[in-house]
Amino acid sequence: MKKILILIFGFGFGQLINAQEKGLSLGFGGSLDIRLNDYYENHIGVKSQFSNILKSSVGIQINYQLNDRVGLRSGILYSGKGYKIIYKNVDTEDKEVSPVIPLESESRLNYIDIPLSIYCQVLKSNRYTLSPSLGIMNSVNIRESKIYEMRDGTRNEKTFNSSNTNKYLLGARLGLINNFKLSSNIFISFESYLIYELYNLNDTDIEKPEIPFGGILSVNYKFNKK
């Protein structure tokens, strides 16, 4: 994974040197997506309710125009994903809840996301372009923590160096890029996408979503007016 990261940024920053002769643009933005969206944790005799935590990312986007219609898009984003479990009452009314069972637990996962895709422009006007894209999404887990809210009012947090959740997520990504030109060098880009997951989950408590989807919004600067 480190080699992939080095190659991507070696390529990106290497092209900055020739930016005036090539169609290179650099952007900053963020995304929202749904990837890990179900959870099966269930203490014996205790009902629980799953609740999503908003999944988001922020980072740098690199666009490289190969010709008038075809280009490459990559970048690196820091993302936070997670899920919350709210523990309800026990199955029988006359049975008390054990004090070791929390009121709720929250799992937080942090990833480095590295998307890489190729796109082809199919529609162009003075200030708008539409381009379907096809590529992959690489996500590397760098941190996992759990926060427990106990029944006595205390909160405990545990951080894991090696987690039960996948260290690496890989998915094929189909997207639709909408670029809105603000000036000769600046444009806003919104890309909606679907992801086909290419991994098996290590954590049996989590279920992969049936239709992972998301979107990324960024503001980009084009180094060449080409």
- Tokens (6 digits) for 184: 């000769």
Amino acid 23: pLDDT: 76
Spans of all domains in the chain: 2-222
Report pLDDT for 151: 72
pTM: 0.73
Mean pLDDT, the chain, as a whole number? 76
- Measure the CA–CA gap between 195 and 162, rounded to whole angstroms: 26
| Residue 88 near residue 46, CB atoms below 8 Å | yes
- Residue that is written with structure tokens 């650099």 in the block: 26
Of the candidates 18, 20, 15, 29, the one whose C-alpha atom is nearest the C-alpha of residue 115 is: 29
Q: Which of 134-143, 149-158, 206-215 has the highest mean pLDDT?
A: 134-143
* 2-222 is a CATH 3.20.20.120 domain: no
Condensed to tens digits (0 to 9), the pLDDT of residues 22-56 reads 678 889 988 877 655 455 544 445 566 666 666 78
Average pLDDT on 5-13 reads 56
E strands in 56-99:
56-65, 70-90
Average pLDDT of the segment spanning 57-61 = 91
pLDDT digits (tens, 9 = 90+) for 75-126: 999 988 777 777 665 444 545 556 666 777 777 788 898 999 999 999 999 9
Q: What is the pLDDT of residue 60?
A: 92
- Region 51-71: mean pLDDT is 83
pLDDT of residue 94: 46
Residue 120: name the closest of 111, 112, 129 by CA.
Answer: 129
In sequence order, what DSSP letters do the residues of 28-52 get, joined into one string?
EEEEEEESS-EE----TTEEEEEEE
